[in-house]
Homo-oligomer: A and B are copies of this chain.
């Protein structure tokens, strides 16, 4: 049984954001302006489209596993994905959450260095690795874009090292909420400015190097302090943005 199911064919004949002639999956892609394909012209896009598959993965399913052969990379086109590493006794560190436009699964080596799992229902664009790297040789714009993405990721990772190595539990939670509301997070911010976390307390804990209980206690404290409001569905409104920034320990 494959963990990955091809996405159902979309409505044909509907013009997408780009020119016609593209496969439905690409023409309607919500992430095309964010992903590595965004710098390609229409002709190149058609070429790229011929190499890829569009997939759906339901929440909780694995996309690829650490140590597996890295045969394909994926662009997240909707939903939220997490990547994590495990220690032998089960301790888990989530190394990143990924949103629409993010590319995952294109490591330097032959195998994936982390496991990827769908947090919500997810749609993905699958690039066979060999064909993608061949394409990079032809289209330098693609490689430039990839380089930019990897650099961004590295910078984010360095900020996360500061968080994991030196910040208190409270500061970690504050930083996390601010990052979600300020940056990243397409699909996390409601129209009314409310934040939908999507991931569980346990996931947040494993991302911030804490336990579920500590995360829960910090949320409670922030709520009682009037910095955030949490509604019945767990959606979060940041009331004291400045207060939260003060609590985050800030960059410097």
A residues at B contact (CB < 8 Å)? 66-67, 85-89, 91-93, 95, 107-109, 113-114, 140, 143-144, 146-148, 150-155, 157-162, 164-167, 206, 208-209, 249-252
**Do A158 and B209 form a contact, CB below 8 Å, given A107-B151, A152-B108?**
no
Contacts of A107 in B (CB 8 A): 151, 155
**Do A93 and B165 form a contact, CB below 8 Å, given A252-B66, A252-B86?**
yes
Contacts of A108 in B (CB 8 A): 148, 151-152, 155
Contacts of A140 in B (CB 8 A): 140, 143
Contacts of A91 in B (CB 8 A): 166-167, 249
Contacts of A159 in B (CB 8 A): 85, 113
Nearest-CB residue, chain B, relative to A164: B164
Nearest-CB residue, chain B, relative to A96: B158
Give the distance in Å from the alpha carbon of A113 to the alpha carbon of B155 in the complex: 7
Contacts of A155 in B (CB 8 A): 107-109, 113
What distance in Å separates the Cβ of A165 from its nearest Cβ neighbour in chain B? 3
Give the distance in Å from the alpha carbon of A97 to the alpha carbon of B109 in the complex: 21
Contacts of A93 in B (CB 8 A): 161-162, 165-166
Number of copies: 2
Closest 5 CB pairs of A and B: A165-B209, A164-B164, A157-B157, A108-B151, A93-B162
Nearest-CB residue, chain B, relative to A85: B162
Contact of A166 among B87, B154, B165 (CB under 8 A): B87
Contacts of A86 in B (CB 8 A): 252
Nearest-CB residue, chain B, relative to A172: B165
Contacts of A165 in B (CB 8 A): 93, 164, 206, 208-209
Give the distance in Å from the alpha carbon of A107 to the alpha carbon of B156 in the complex: 11
